Structure formats: structure tokens, C-alpha cells
Amino acid sequence: MTTPLDDAEMAQWVAWKRANDAVTAAVANEIHSASGLSLPDFSILSRVIENGSGRMPQQELGLMLDWQRARLSRQLSRMAERDLLTREGGPGGRRVIIATDAGRRALAAARPAHARAVRHALLSPAMNRETFWTAVHTIADATESSP
């Protein structure tokens, strides 16, 4: 049986969660201020536009995002109501997501804000975080190679 985290381990876990939440909130706020997009809006539009040239099967999008079908469907409905995208029937009865001109403009406005927020929160040369990034890459690599 695995023992619970001790106080020091729990403090590290909580610090990791707080740091992750702070970075995510900073990026989300910058994106929203610049474009009116939420982080889920941004995630969807960036994948549809940048990976699918503005069109993507809904199932492929769901796999890319690793979202449940119901969550994706609800988010797509909200975005369609705001004219950020449309959904059309595709081959085999599958839905295809299409970014609208408004969605493309919103993503174009959000991209510089996203870059600015990520650079400020994680990549600033003034913040020497080499050890941090080495650890992050080690964790990511170990996760990818796990069975």
C-alpha cells in the first residue's frame, strides 16, 4: 500500500498546483482581455485553424484536446452561438468544425496576448529558471515513456 504524502511532499504538490493555476490564469486573462476568448475557445480555435487550416472533424478535435464528447459539444455550441465557428455534416455523418471569419479574427487578436503572457510567466530571461525547465522536461519525457 502506498503511503500518503508527507508534509514536505504535500507542500511541493500544493506549490506546483498554485504555480500552474497562476500561469494558467495569467494566460487566460491576457487572452480574454485581448480577444474576448476564453481559454477553451482559444484551445479549440487554435487547433482548428492552425492544425486543420480552419476545418477539422469534431472527433479529431476531441482527440487532440482529450476532452469528453459532451464537454466538447457544449463548448462548440457556445462558440457557434457567438459566431466563432460553425458545424456542418461531413463524410459518414461526422461533424466538421469550421472556423468563421470572426473566429479567425479573435484568434489573431489572442495570439500576441498568449505569447506575451507565456513569455512573462514562464520564459522571461530575467527569471533564471533553467533548473525548473530541466525538471519539467524530465517529467514530461518520463510521462511519455511510461506504459
The phi and psi torsions of 82 (rounded to 5 degrees) equal -95, 10
- Starting at the edge strand found earlier in the chain, the sheet holding 55-57 runs 55-57, 95-99, 85-89
Average pLDDT value over all residues in the chain: 91
Instruction: Say if 35 falls within a structural domain.
Output: yes
The residue among 8, 95, 105 whose CA lies nearest residue 60 is: 95
pLDDT one-digit tens code per residue, 47-84: 999 998 999 999 999 999 999 999 999 999 999 999 99
Give the residue numbers spanning the domain of 39.
Answer: 30-145
- Can you tell me the mean pLDDT for 10-20? 88
What is the count of structural domains for the chain?
1
Q: How confident is the model at residue 125 (pLDDT cuts 50, 70, 90)?
A: low
For the question of whether the overall pTM of this predicted structure is more than 0.75, the answer is: yes
Instruction: Say if 24 falls within a structural domain.
Output: no
Q: Where are the beta strands (DSSP E) in the chain?
A: 55-57, 85-89, 95-99
